[in-house]
Amino acid sequence: MMIADIANSGPLPVLAEVMTFAAQRQQLIAHNIANLETPDFVPLDVSTSGFQKNLAEAVKRRREATGNETGQLDVKETRELARDGSGSLVLRPRTSSGNVLFHDRNNRDLERMMQSLAENTTVFRAASDLLRTHVGMLRNAMAERV
């Protein structure tokens, strides 16, 4: 029971969701970049602001239900977010908009894709650094080190 309590407390579930989202989005962006010159290719993406809003609402619901930062984090399914059989977050990308339509009917914008790639990498790195720090503090506490 203690391990489950630790895994569901504080920032751990939030950071895990952020890292899962960012990792899957990284694959999506890389796929878009790899197919940049493919005729009729339409790059797909998911809304980062929609995910952030959904995650913030899940944290708020958890705080209201438990009175603190412990318990399950219930990120609701949306048009772009789903859960697989094991309960892991799965992205369902939508067609991105606002890109340039080229003569080969390819809808692309390399600068925007590279910006998304850099931003997404930064989000993943920040979340993984925070997770590593938090796990290190937990490890020190369990080993009774100061």
* pLDDT values of the chain reduced to their tens digit, one per residue, 146 residues: 344 444 455 788 899 999 999 999 999 999 988 988 887 777 888 999 999 999 999 888 888 887 777 777 888 999 999 999 888 889 999 866 555 656 655 666 788 889 999 999 999 999 999 999 988 888 888 888 76
Measured from the Cβ of residue 4, the count of other Cβ atoms closer than 10 Å reads 9
Closest C-alpha to 107, from 122, 123, 95, 125: 95
Q: From the centroid of its chain, how far is CA 53?
A: 12
Q: How far is residue 77 from each of residues 22, 54, 84, 91, measured CA to CA in Å?
A: 17, 9, 11, 10
Prediction pTM value:
0.81
Residue 22, C-beta contacts closer than 8 angstroms, at least 6 positions apart = 120, 123, 124, 127
Beta bridge partners of 94: 45
